[in-house]
Amino acid sequence: MKPYVLGIDIGGTNTVFGIVDARGVVIASGSIKTAKHSKIEDYIDELYTEATRLIKANDAEDKIYGIGVGAPNANYYNGMIEGAVNLPWPSPIPLAKLISDKFGLPVAITNDANAAAIGEMTYGAARGLKDFIMITLGTGVGSGIVINGQVVYGHDGFAGELGHIVVKRNNGRLCGCGRTGCLEAYCSATGVARTAREFLEIRQNEPSLLRNMPIEEITSKDVYDAAMNGDKLAKEVFEYTGTILGEALADMTVFSSPAAFILFGGLAKSGELLMKPLREAMDKNMMPIFKGKPKVLLSELKEADAAVLGASALGWEAKPLESAPAAN
């Protein structure tokens, strides 16, 4: 069996790719700008040129078993990207076929959060777990659900959108999906910044380190730094965020009774600022039969490698799209 897979993580800004071995070691990696090409064919051409250069430089020609791709709104079943607002090309995009045809290799694609879940199961904190839920806390809130050792894709390939569970039924914040009150509008990095702005506006007379910067420029990192410097308002932003996330995790538990939730992404690195209120709210809101059962773990994948690793793990299950054998 060929010893390597190629992992490709397509983000709105950068596309990162890497050659990965069966133990999850990233042998070499590279990147291109996702939005540089307005035509998807030109993008695929550059991706092929750069990835091939990397493969040749590492003597990995004829050693790539398959390609795994993590991309926004990517559908595992049909290899298409549908309705991805963060990518510069019109949907639907037959991504798996385009890459497979160009590289002459089998390709499997899924969305970024599912790729992260597969990576965590193959190489990270979920090794040995058959039932867990990956929650990615980044610009948005993504999720990858694993039940009985298999990623949940649902009947149409789009299952696992737990960032869009409604946590505020009335007067909720507007979400990027067009509805209101979604988890993502509160417990993402963007949500933390929104909460900080709300708190600052509502509590006009309360001093805060966050008043030293223009309110519209506040980021979740600013809120974190202020909280670590003892700022009361900033600490309460994390309490608010952690409480909503803990309530949501308790609700998710009644669905699939996972052994663990695995948190990933920038916000997951907020330490006890986030984790203490999260654990308290989760425990307080947990249905008795599940009390104390699901663990909350942090991702064990290195941030720099995680996206590529997760995507690459999918490469091991890639099958040729057509019945004809792959050229390579």
Which residues are at the interface with its own copies (CB under 8 A)?
Answer: 73, 82-83, 129-131, 145, 147-148, 150, 152-162, 164-169, 177-179, 247, 250-252, 254-259, 285, 287-290, 293
Q: What is the β-pairing status of strands 4-10 and 14-21?
A: antiparallel
Minimum CB distance to its own copies, residue 91 (Å): 11
Instruction: Give the CA distances from residue 28 to residues 52, 109, 298, in Å, rounded to whole numbers and listed in that order.
Output: 12, 21, 25
Minimum CB distance to its own copies, residue 318 (Å): 19
Burial class (CB in 10 A: 0-12, 13-18, 19+), 241: buried
User: CB under 8 Å, gap of 24 or more: what pairs does 207-216 form?
Assistant: 208/232, 208/233, 208/234, 209/234, 210/234
Question: Which of 161/305 has CB closer to its own copies?
Answer: 161
For residues 64 and 22, the answer to whether their CB atoms sit within 8 Å is no
Minimum CB distance to its own copies, residue 190 (Å): 18
Question: Which of 18/181 has CB closer to its own copies?
Answer: 181
Minimum CB distance to its own copies, residue 80 (Å): 13
Separation of alpha carbons 139 and 158, rounded Å = 19
Q: Where are any strands of DSSP class E within the chain? A: 4-10, 14-21, 26-33, 64-70, 107-110, 132-137, 141-147, 150-151, 260-264, 295-298
Question: Which of 149/271 has CB closer to its own copies?
Answer: 149
Please name the residues in contact with 16: beta carbons below 8 A apart, sequence gap of 6 or more: 8, 9, 29, 30, 31, 307, 308
Question: Which of 101/251 has CB closer to its own copies?
Answer: 251
Question: Which of 160/315 has CB closer to its own copies?
Answer: 160
Minimum CB distance to its own copies, residue 33 (Å): 27
Q: Which helix (H) or strand (E) holds 58?
A: none
Minimum CB distance to its own copies, residue 152 (Å): 6
Question: Which of 104/154 has CB closer to its own copies?
Answer: 154
